[in-house]
């Protein structure tokens, strides 16, 4: 079940389908983003996760999103991902990362994101 779920979630994420993504989460799921306050902003519960996914999928500077290889071991999975970030000057940088997932009752209860850091401009 977890392998099918993570594959379904990857397809939904790549398609930027908020409803299909949300159908994969438990009601009390947690999404720990790779960026934001501290080491990353935490979104707890489906309502908060939905708002964040709508923001991500609506950001024209962050496309296309792509999910890659994934590994599932019991109730834990890891999935590689990438996206292209378009800067105001028209340049594009590919951002790569990995998400760690935990499953409960056939759904995602945790999505914990990590990404490669971009070099500072002018550094």
Q: How confident is the prediction along the chain (123 residues), in pLDDT tens digits per residue?
A: 689 999 999 999 999 999 999 999 999 999 999 988 878 899 999 999 999 999 999 887 776 788 899 999 999 999 999 988 888 888 888 889 999 999 999 999 999 999 987 665 544
- 35 preceded by a cis bond (ω within 30 of 0): no
Taking the C-alpha atoms of residue 111 and residue 88, their distance in angstroms, rounded to an integer, is 29
Residue 76 lies in a domain: yes
Residue 8 lies in a domain: yes
Residue 122 lies in a domain: no
Structural domain including 41 reads: 2-115
Residue 81 lies in a domain: yes
**Number of domains forming the structure of the chain:** 1
Q: Is the pTM of this model over 0.85?
A: yes
Residue 58 lies in a domain: yes
Residue 48 lies in a domain: yes
Residue 123 lies in a domain: no
């Amino acid at each position: 079940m977890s392998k099918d779920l993570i594959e379904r979630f990857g397809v939904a994420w790549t398609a930027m389908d908020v409803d299909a993504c949300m159908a994969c989460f438990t009601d009390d799921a947690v999404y720990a983003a790779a960026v934001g306050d501290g080491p990353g902003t935490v979104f707890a519960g489906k309502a908060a996760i939905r708002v964040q996914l709508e923001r991500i999928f609506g950001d024209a500077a962050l496309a296309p999103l792509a999910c890659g290889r994934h590994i599932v071991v019991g109730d834990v999975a890891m999935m590689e991902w990438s996206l292209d970030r378009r800067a105001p000057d028209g340049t594009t940088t590919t951002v790569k990362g990995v998400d760690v997932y935990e499953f409960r009752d056939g759904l995602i209860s945790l999505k914990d994101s990590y990404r490669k850091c971009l070099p500072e401009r002018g550094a």
